[in-house]
């Protein structure tokens, strides 16, 4: 990891950050295995991805409050993750096919979320390398689960 910038982030932040991928790994295993736990795995995958994406929005909102020089659009960026996640739940609430396409879209949003950090100038030493790895990790896992959703849910 030398030279990647990740080493500058505390050991605890790195360990807990990567541990944060474990719920999505568990969901992927449940979906991949199929059977009675597949639907639970799909629901867990969507809920966890939505929760983390909403958390990122809260971080951006907080930065906007703490740093008045932040771009004015930061507050829109702060609320959009929760609204996107809620919109992705809407088909399920109506009993429509779910959550494959929604997980893929949510995964893509998570994978691209470090671009918001770059745009607002959030560049503490080592932060972007860790954000990139975690975002691609969670986003990628969510996309894979979304691609397996039809097979797993029997729809």
Residue 1 in any domain: the answer is: no
Residue 94 in any domain: the answer is: yes
Residue 113 in any domain: the answer is: yes
Helix axes 22-33, 38-66, angle to 10 degrees: 160
Residue 18 in any domain: the answer is: yes
Integer Rg of the chain from CA: 16
Residue 91 belongs to domain spanning: 6-153
Residue 104 in any domain: the answer is: yes
Q: How confident is the model at residue 124 (pLDDT cuts 50, 70, 90)?
A: confident
Residue 119 in any domain: the answer is: yes
Residue 137 in any domain: the answer is: yes
Give per-residue pLDDT as tens, 74-99: 999 999 999 999 999 998 889 887 78
| pTM of the predicted structure, to 2 decimals | 0.90
Give per-residue pLDDT as tens, 10-68: 999 999 999 999 999 999 999 999 888 999 999 999 999 999 999 999 999 999 999 99
Please state the rounded mean pLDDT for residues 109-138. 93
DSSP 32-96: HH-GGGHHHHHHHHHHHHHHHHHHHHHHHHHHHHH-TTS-TTHHHHHHHHHHHHHHHHHHHHTT-
pLDDT reported for residue 50: 98
Give percent of the chain above pLDDT 90. Answer: 77
| Tally of structural domains, the chain | 1
Between residues 5 and 77, the one the model is more confident about: 77
């Amino acid at each position: 990891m030398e030279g990647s910038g990740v080493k500058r982030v505390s050991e605890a932040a790195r360990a807990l950050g990567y541990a944060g991928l474990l719920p999505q790994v568990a969901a992927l295993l449940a979906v991949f295995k199929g059977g009675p736990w597949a639907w639970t795995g799909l629901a867990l995958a969507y809920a966890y991805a939505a929760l983390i994406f909403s958390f990122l929005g809260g971080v951006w909102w907080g930065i906007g409050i703490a740093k008045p020089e932040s771009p004015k659009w930061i507050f829109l960026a702060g609320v959009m993750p929760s609204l996107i996640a809620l919109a992705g739940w809407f088909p399920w609430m109506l009993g429509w096919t779910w959550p494959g396409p929604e997980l893929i879209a949510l995964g893509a949003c998570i994978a691209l979320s470090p671009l918001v950090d770059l745009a607002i100038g959030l560049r503490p030493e080592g932060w972007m390398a860790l954000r990139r790895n975690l975002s691609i990790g969670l986003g990628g896992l969510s996309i894979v689960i979304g691609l397996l959703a039809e097979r797993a849910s029997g729809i």
